[in-house]
């Protein structure tokens, strides 16, 4: 009798556990298909409204993924339109829509390790495409047009129900409340970035399109490769292997400026909120360095390389190429190549 009771209770518990698992899976599936994030909805609305409000004062527009969202602090003449999981296609489409801003002269594009192969629409982060489509009319590339039909209605309902927050001085900057969770291991994070880096599916082609558009509009395109925490950087392949496509593109578009801060010793661990995202302290450093780089027109800044302007010895009749250590530059010289 006791054995039968134990067996009966075991079956009941197993069924209850199974039912709970089924309910949890159903709830997750429902959330995936029929729920939106209020936080994300509000963030996109605020960016959209702020950009429209500030459009006549924007001289520099920052585009790119969360590395740019965490890494660039806009001033009164710039705007940070970067966002979580913004791929190169989305960055290009945003640039197309704002290329005619009256004072725009510089576009800063953040290009990360995963950028060469990352496609937002084909990842678990695909819901971000809903907001880019709703607020800026960016079409889907792979999903059917009605894929976000239910979520679009939920988004519209949320926007009607909740009044927009005040814009004030907001220019798209990050609040620094979100970082990669500590449960994510360093190795898995590096692996996921390198996986997209190795896809070779043509995403850097959108940087080419941006370079061509910038040339047509008379804008300056600056591609920024952000820094990463030292333990993250130590696990990466050589720079020229990771960013071969970008460097090849720079040959066809020498007017495009590249600034890389990978391995830059100025960034210490306390400048990061996680393995590959800067905190506000780190963003202040990076923004200062980007502004400095913007003054060095037409230069390509690579890891461990700092460009300097040497004095020209000459007058209207001709010039002399002369470099003297400790005079023209503050270090000893071993070798000089002149072309």
Neighbouring residues of 101: CB distance < 8 A, sequence distance ≥ 6 = 55, 56, 58, 61
Whether 60 has a pLDDT exceeding 80, the answer reads yes
Rounded mean pLDDT, 69-91: 97
Say if CB 137 and CB 44 are below 8 A apart.
no
- The CA distance from 137 to 193, in Å, is 28
User: According to the model, what pLDDT value does residue 133 have?
Assistant: 98
Q: What is the mean pLDDT of the chain?
A: 87
Q: For 304-312, which contacts have Cβ atoms below 8 Å and span 24 or more sequence positions?
A: 304/263
Superfamily of domain covering 33-307: SGNH hydrolase (3.40.50.1110)
The domain limits of the chain are 33-307
User: According to the model, what pLDDT value does residue 326 have?
Assistant: 52
Give the rounded percent of residues in the chain with a pLDDT score beyond 90.
Answer: 75
Q: Alpha-carbon torsion 309, 313, 314, 320, what sign?
A: negative
Reported pTM: 0.82
170-179, 184-193, 199-208, 302-311, range with the lowest pLDDT: 302-311
User: According to the model, what pLDDT value does residue 15 have?
Assistant: 63
Pairing of strands 220-225, 257-260: parallel
Whether 305 has a pLDDT exceeding 60, the answer reads no
User: According to the model, what pLDDT value does residue 18 have?
Assistant: 54
Residues 112-124: pLDDT tens digits?
999 999 999 999 9
User: According to the model, what pLDDT value does residue 34 have?
Assistant: 73
């Amino acid at each position: 009798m006791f054995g039968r009771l134990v067996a009966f209770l075991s079956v009941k518990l197993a069924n209850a556990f199974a039912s709970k698992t089924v309910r949890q899976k159903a709830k997750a599936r429902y959330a995936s298909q029929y729920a939106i994030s209020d936080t994300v909805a509000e963030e996109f609305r605020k960016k959209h409204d702020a950009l429209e409000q500030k459009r006549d004062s924007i001289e520099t527009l920052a585009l790119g993924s969360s590395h740019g969202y965490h890494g660039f602090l806009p001033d009164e003449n710039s705007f940070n339109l970067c966002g979580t999981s913004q791929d190169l296609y989305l960055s290009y489409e945003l640039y197309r829509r704002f290329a005619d801003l009256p004072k725009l002269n510089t576009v800063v594009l953040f290009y990360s390790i995963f950028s060469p192969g990352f496609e937002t629409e084909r990842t678990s982060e695909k819901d971000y495409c809903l907001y880019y489509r709703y607020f800026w009319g960016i079409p889907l590339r792979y999903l059917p047009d009605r894929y976000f039909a239910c979520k679009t209605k939920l988004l519209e309902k949320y926007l009607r129900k909740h009044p927009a927050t005040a814009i004030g001085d907001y220019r798209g900057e990050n609040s620094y409340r979100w970082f990669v969770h500590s449960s994510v291991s360093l190795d898995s994070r590096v692996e996921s970035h390198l996986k997209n880096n190795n896809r070779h599916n043509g995403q850097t082609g959108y940087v080419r399109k941006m370079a061509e558009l910038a040339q047509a509009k008379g804008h300056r395109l600056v591609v920024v490769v952000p820094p990463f925490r030292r333990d993250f950087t130590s696990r990466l392949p050589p720079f020229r292997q990771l960013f071969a496509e970008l460097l090849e593109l720079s040959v066809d578009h020498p007017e495009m400026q590249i600034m890389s801060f990978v391995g830059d010793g100025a960034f210490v661990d306390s400048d990061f909120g996680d393995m590959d995202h800067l905190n506000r302290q780190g963003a202040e450093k990076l923004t200062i360095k980007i502004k400095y780089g913007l003054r060095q027109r037409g230069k390509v800044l690579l890891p461990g390389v700092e460009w300097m302007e040497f004095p020209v010895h000459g007058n209207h009749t001709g010039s002399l190429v002369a470099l003297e250590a400790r005079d023209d530059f503050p270090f000893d010289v071993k070798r000089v190549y002149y072309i």
